[in-house]
C-alpha cells in the first residue's frame, strides 16, 4: 500500500515527455485558452521554489481548462540575453552562450521533474538567432515608422561594467550611485543612444489599462509611471538678459504666489545665467547631483538641497523679480526641466523655502497654518481674486495666452525608452551607417544579423560595446560603398517584449514569419493571453514595454487585440522559514530539487498551493510540507477502500466538492480548493467506502495539483489505458446539493455533549425535543433543573441547566 513517489513520478514524467502529452492541438472547434508564465532568466543557480509556485499555478489552469474542453497553449522559453551571463563570462573566461544554454538544460530538467505540463515544441530562447531575427525585424519597423532614433541622452554610465544601466539596475550605497550587480560606481553621462518613442503611445497605454483584469496596484503603478498631467506652460524671462525659460505647472492658478524658480542642475541654461560669484558653488552642486539616481532625487522625504544661481527671473503675472535656484529634485527629463515654486501651496516648495529662507505668499484662502494644497477662494491674485481653483486655472491660461506668455499643455512623466546597451551578449542592431553617418536599415533578406562569436568580450574602453573591437565585422562593403555596423546591442527587455507572440508562431522547423497572413490567423486565434502569471517587479518595465510593442504591431495590422495580456496575476514571494526573503547570505534558501527528492513533486506542488492565497507572501514551513505528504499518502490508501456502484451517504459532499473546486480553480483560489478536497477525503474515511463515480471524479479534481499520483491511481485501480489529461471534467448535480438531513450539535451549558440528525427545515420545537432525548444529553441533564433550551437553526441546540 506504500506510495513509491520516486518511481511513479519518473514514470509519468517520461510518459508525458515522450508522448508529447501537452502538445497544443490543431483543433479549430475547441475554444482556446492561452496560459503562460513570465519566463525565467537561466542563471547558474537553477530554479528556486518561487519559480515552482508560479509554474504550478499555470499548470493547474492548463490541466483544468484542458479537461473542460479547451484547446490549451501552455508554453515555456528562456529570457537568455542579458548582463548576468556577460558578467559571469567576464569573470570566468567562459563563453556566455555556452554558459546560458547549459543552464537552460538544467532549468528544463527541473521543470520536467516538477511535473509541469509544457508544449515543448514551442520552446525557444531569446538568444536563438531564428527568434531574434524577428526582434530585429520589429526594430526595423519601429525605425521606418519614426519610433526609433539615435539621439544624445544623459544615461547612467557604469565604467566597471562598461555599459549604460537602467534606473532599476542601480542602488544607492553610502549616498552614491552603484550598480546593483557588482556595486561599481555609476555616473551620469551624455551618450548617443538608440531610443524608442514610447511617449507617442502614452495616452493609449494609459486609457487601455481600463480594459485589463490586472491587480489595481499594478495598473496604478503604470498610471503613475506614465504620469499624465494637464496644466500650463508659462514663460519666465531672465532679468537683464535675452534668455527665457518655460515652466510647466498643473497649478497655473497659483502663479501670483510664485516667489522663486528652480532649474534642474543639468539644464543647459544654468551655466549661462549663473553669476560669477555663484559659479563655483553651482558647478560643485551639478557634480554632486550626477551621483544621484532620478528615483533618489524624486524622493519627497529627502532633504531639500539646492543652491542660488545669483540670477533672477520676472514673474509674468505681476512683474515681480524672483530668484532662480537649482535643486536636484527638479529633473531635466521631466517637463521643461524648470519649475515655478509656490511655497504656500506646494509641500515640497514649502519645505525648500523654509530651509533656504525664501518668501512665502499665500494666494488661496484657508484657515490652515503653513502649506495649503486644497481648493479654495483665491486672494492676493489680481484678475482671479474670488475664483476657485478650476475657474482660476482657465482664467489665468486665457490671460497668459493673450499675452503670448503661456498656453495650456499636457505633459507626461514617461520618458522615451533608452534602447542601447554597451554589451556583447545581446541582439545586434540590424542597421548600417554610411560615410555621412546616415542610418540604413538592413533588408529582411539580410536577417538575422547574427551576433559574432568573440573570445574576448571585455569592454572596449571607449564607451562602446565589446563589438567595437571587431574591425572586420564592423566595416563592410555593400553596393560598392563602405558602411559601419552599430556596435551597441539591444537591452534584455527587447526579446521579452514580444515572446508571447513567439510561442504562437513557433513550429518544429522555425517560426511562422510574423509579417504573413498565416501568422495573423494564428495570432488572432490565440491572443490576447488569457492569464499571465509572474512577479509584480515587472510592472513598469517588461509589462509596459510589451504593451507598447503590442500596440505598435496592432497599428501595423499584425495583431487584432489591443492588449497582449488580458488577465495578470502576481504570485507572492515564498520567504525563508525565518520569514525573510530567501538569500544565500541568510542561509534560508530552499532548493526544489532537494524537496522533490525527499517528498516528491506532487507534495511540493500541493504544499506550495496550500500555503495561502497565490498572491500572498508566505514563509516556508518544513513541518507543513510533511502534512501535505501525509495527505497524499491518505489519498493513495483511500483507493484501497471498497469502491462500490453507489454510496449515497457521500453524494452531498462529493457534489459540493466538485462545485467548490471548479469555482476555486476558476478564480485561482487553489488553497481553498485543496481544503475542500481534504474535507471530502475525511468524509470518505468516515464511510470507509466510496462509489466509482466519486473515486474517478475526485482523481480528476486533484489531478491539476497532483498529476502523478492521480494518473497512477486512474491507470492501476481502474485499469485505464488512457490518461486523465484529456478526460472530461466532472460535473455536479444541483439536486444532490440539497441535504435531506443535517447534523445539529447539542451542548449542555455550552459544552458539546451529543449530535442529532434533523431535516433542514424541521420545526425548532421538534429539534429541541430530539436534542433533550439524545443519550448523552439525558446523562448530563438527569436530575437537573433545565432553565432554557436555545436553538440556533441548522447549527446547534444549547441546553442551559442549573448546576
Binding residues for ATP: 584
Helix H or strand E encompassing 758: strand 751-758
Report the relative pairing of strands 568-570 and 148-158 from DSSP bridges. unpaired
Cα–Cα distance, 559 to 191 (Å, whole number): 35
Buried b / exposed e along 93-110 (16+ C-beta atoms within 10 A): eebbbebbbebbebbbeb
Q: Are 78 and 125 in contact (CB under 8 A)?
A: yes
Residues placed in the known binding site: 584
Rounded to the nearest 5°, which phi and psi values hold at 481?
-120, 155
Ranges assigned E (strand) in 275-333: 307-314, 321-326
Helix H or strand E encompassing 346: none
**Which residues make beta-bridge pairs with 126?**
none
CB within 8 A of 450, min separation 6: which ones? 129, 428
Residue whose C-alpha is closest to residue 666's, from 113, 61, 55, 136:
61
Residue whose C-alpha is closest to residue 56's, from 543, 590, 517, 670:
670
Helices (H) and strands (E) in the chain, counts: 26, 31
DSSP letter at 187 equals E
DSSP string, 456-477: -----SSSS-GGGG-HHHHEEE
Q: Are 575 and 612 in contact (CB under 8 A)?
A: no
Count of CB atoms within 10 A of residue 472's CB? 7
Cα–Cα distance, 63 to 609 (Å, whole number): 15
In a 10 Å sphere around its CB, with 0-12 CB exposed, 13-18 middle and 19+ buried, how is residue 380 labelled? Answer: middle
In a 10 Å sphere around its CB, with 0-12 CB exposed, 13-18 middle and 19+ buried, how is residue 2 labelled? Answer: exposed
Cα–Cα distance, 796 to 471 (Å, whole number): 87
Cα–Cα distance, 702 to 673 (Å, whole number): 9
Ranges assigned E (strand) in 299-403: 307-314, 321-326, 338-341
Q: CA separation (Å) from 779 to 137, 753, 772, 774, 782?
A: 85, 9, 10, 9, 6
**What stretches of 569-621 show up as alpha helix (H) in DSSP?**
592-599, 601-610
Residue whose C-alpha is closest to residue 664's, from 60, 67, 215, 66:
60
Question: Given CA atoms 362, 364, 366, 372 in this order, what sign does their dihedral have?
Answer: negative
Would you call 496 helix, strand, or coil by DSSP? Answer: helix
If DSSP states are collapsed to H, E and C, what string results for 400-419?
HHHHCCEEEEEECCCCCEEC
Cα–Cα distance, 442 to 448 (Å, whole number): 9
Count of CB atoms within 10 A of residue 581's CB? 14
Amino acid at each position: 500500500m506504500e506510495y513509491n513517489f520516486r518511481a511513479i513520478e519518473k514514470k509519468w514524467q517520461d510518459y508525458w515527455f515522450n508522448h508529447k502529452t501537452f502538445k497544443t492541438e490543431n483543433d479549430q472547434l475547441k475554444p482556446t485558452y492561452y496560459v503562460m508564465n513570465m519566463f525565467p532568466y537561466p542563471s547558474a543557480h537553477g530554479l528556486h521554489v518561487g519559480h515552482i509556485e508560479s509554474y504550478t499555478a499555470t499548470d493547474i489552469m492548463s490541466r483544468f481548462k484542458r479537461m473542460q474542453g479547451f484547446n490549451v497553449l501552455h508554453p515555456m522559453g528562456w529570457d537568455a540575453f542579458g548582463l548576468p551571463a556577460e558578467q559571469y563570462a567576464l569573470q570566468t573566461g567562459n563563453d556566455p552562450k555556452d554558459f546560458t544554454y547549459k543552464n537552460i538544460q538544467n532549468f528544463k530538467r527541473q521543470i520536467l521533474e516538477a511535473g509541469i505540463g509544457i508544449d515543448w515544441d514551442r520552446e525557444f530562447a531569446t538568444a536563438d538567432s531564428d527568434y531574434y531575427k524577428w526582434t530585429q525585424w520589429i526594430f526595423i519597423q519601429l525605425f521606418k515608422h519614426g519610433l526609433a532614433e539615435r539621439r544624445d541622452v544623459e544615461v547612467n554610465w557604469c565604467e566597471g561594467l562598461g555599459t549604460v544601466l537602467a534606473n532599476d539596475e542601480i542602488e544607492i550605497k553610502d549616498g552614491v550611485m552603484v550598480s546593483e550587480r557588482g556595486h561599481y560606481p555609476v555616473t551620469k553621462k551624455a551618450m548617443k543612444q538608440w531610443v524608442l518613442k514610447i511617449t507617442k503611445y502614452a495616452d493609449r497605454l494609459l486609457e487601455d489599462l481600463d480594459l485589463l483584469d490586472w491587480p489595481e496596484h499594478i495598473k496604478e503603478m503604470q498610471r503613475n509611471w506614465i504620469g499624465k498631467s494637464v496644466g500650463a506652460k508659462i514663460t519666465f524671462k531672465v532679468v537683464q538678459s535675452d534668455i527665457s525659460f518655460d515652466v510647466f505647472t498643473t497649478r497655473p492658478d497659483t502663479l501670483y504666489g510664485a516667489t522663486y524658480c528652480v532649474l534642474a542642475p543639468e539644464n543647459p541654461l544654468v551655466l549661462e545665467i549663473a553669476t560669477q560669484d555663484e559659479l563655483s558653488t553651482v558647478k560643485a552642486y551639478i557634480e554632486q547631483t550626477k551621483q544621484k539616481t532620478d528615483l533618489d532625487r524624486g524622493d519627497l522625504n529627502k532633504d531639500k538641497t539646492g543652491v542660488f544661481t545669483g540670477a533672477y527671473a520676472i514673474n509674468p503675472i505681476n512683474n515681480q523679480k524672483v530668484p532662480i535656484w537649482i535643486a536636484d529634485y527638479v529633473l531635466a527629463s521631466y517637463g521643461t526641466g524648470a519649475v515655478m515654486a509656490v511655497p504656500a501651496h506646494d509641500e515640497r516648495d514649502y519645505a525648500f523655502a523654509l530651509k533656504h529662507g525664501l518668501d512665502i505668499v499665500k494666494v488661496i484662502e484657508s484657515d490652515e497654518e503653513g502649506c495649503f494644497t486644497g481648493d479654495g477662494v483665491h486672494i492676493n491674485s489680481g484678475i482671479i481674486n474670488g475664483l476657485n481653483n478650476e475657474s482660476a486655472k482657465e482664467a489665468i491660461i486665457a490671460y497668459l495666452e493673450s499675452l503670448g506668455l503661456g498656453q495650456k499643455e499636457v505633459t507626461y512623466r514617461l520618458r522615451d525608452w533608452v534602447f542601447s546597451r554597451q554589451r556583447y551578449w545581446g541582439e545586434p542592431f540590424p542597421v548600417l551607417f554610411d560615410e555621412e553617418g546616415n542610418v540604413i536599415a538592413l533588408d529582411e533578406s539580410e536577417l538575422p544579423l547574427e551576433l559574432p562569436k568573440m573570445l574576448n568580450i571585455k569592454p572596449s574602453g571607449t564607451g562602446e560595446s565589446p563589438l567595437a573591437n571587431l574591425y572586420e565585422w564592423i566595416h563592410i562593403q555593400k553596393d560598392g560603398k563602405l558602411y559601419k555596423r552599430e556596435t551597441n546591442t539591444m537591452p534584455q527587455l527587447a526579446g521579452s517584449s514580444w515572446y508571447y507572440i513567439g510561442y504562437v508562431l513557433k513550429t518544429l522547423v522555425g517560426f511562422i514569419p510574423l509579417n504573413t497572413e498565416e501568422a495573423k490567423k494564428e495570432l488572432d486565434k490565440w491572443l490576447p493571453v488569457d492569464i499571465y502569471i509572474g512577479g509584480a517587479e515587472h510592472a513598469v518595465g517588461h509589462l509596459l514595454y510589451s504593451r507598447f510593442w503590442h500596440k505598435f504591431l496592432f497599428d501595423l495590422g499584425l495583431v487584432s487585440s489591443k492588449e497582449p495580456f488580458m488577465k495578470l496575476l502576481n504570485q507572492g514571494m515564498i520567504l525563508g522559514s525565518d520569514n525573510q526573503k530567501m538569500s544565500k547570505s541568510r542561509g534560508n534558501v530552499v532548493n526544489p530539487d532537494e524537496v522533490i527528492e525527499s517528498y516528491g513533486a506532487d507534495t511540493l506542488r500541493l504544499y506550495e498551493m496550500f500555503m495561502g492565497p497565490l498572491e500572498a507572501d508566505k514563509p516556508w514551513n518544513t513541518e507543513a510540507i510533511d502534512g501535505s505528504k501525509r495527505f497524499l499518502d491518505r489519498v493513495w490508501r483511500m483507493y484501497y477502500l471498497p469502491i462500490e456502484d453507489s454510496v449515497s451517504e457521500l453524494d452531498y459532499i462529493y457534489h459540493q466538492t466538485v462545485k467548490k473546486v471548479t469555482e476555486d480553480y476558476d478564480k485561482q483560489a487553489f488553497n481553498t480548493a485543496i481544503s475542500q478536497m481534504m474535507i471530502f477525503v475525511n468524509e470518505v474515511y468516515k464511510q470507509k467506502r466510496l462509489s466509482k463515480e466519486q473515486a474517478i471524479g475526485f482523481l480528476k479534481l486533484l489531478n491539476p495539483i497532483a498529476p502523478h499520483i492521480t494518473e497512477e491511481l486512474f491507470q492501476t485501480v481502474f485499469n485505464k489505458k488512457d490518461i486523465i489529461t484529456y478526460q472530461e471534467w466532472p460535473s455536479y448535480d444541483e439536486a444532490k446539493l440539497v441535504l435531506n438531513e443535517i447534523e445539529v450539535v447539542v451542548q449542555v451549558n455550552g459544552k458539546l455533549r451529543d449530535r442529532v440528525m434533523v431535516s433542514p427545515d424541521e420545526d425548532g420545537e421538534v429539534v429541541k425535543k430530539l436534542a433533550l432525548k439524545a443519550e448523552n444529553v439525558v446523562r448530563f441533564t438527569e436530575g437537573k433543573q433545565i432553565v432554557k433550551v436555545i436553538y440556533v437553526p441548522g447549527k446547534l441546540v444549547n441546553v442551559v441547566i442549573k448546576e
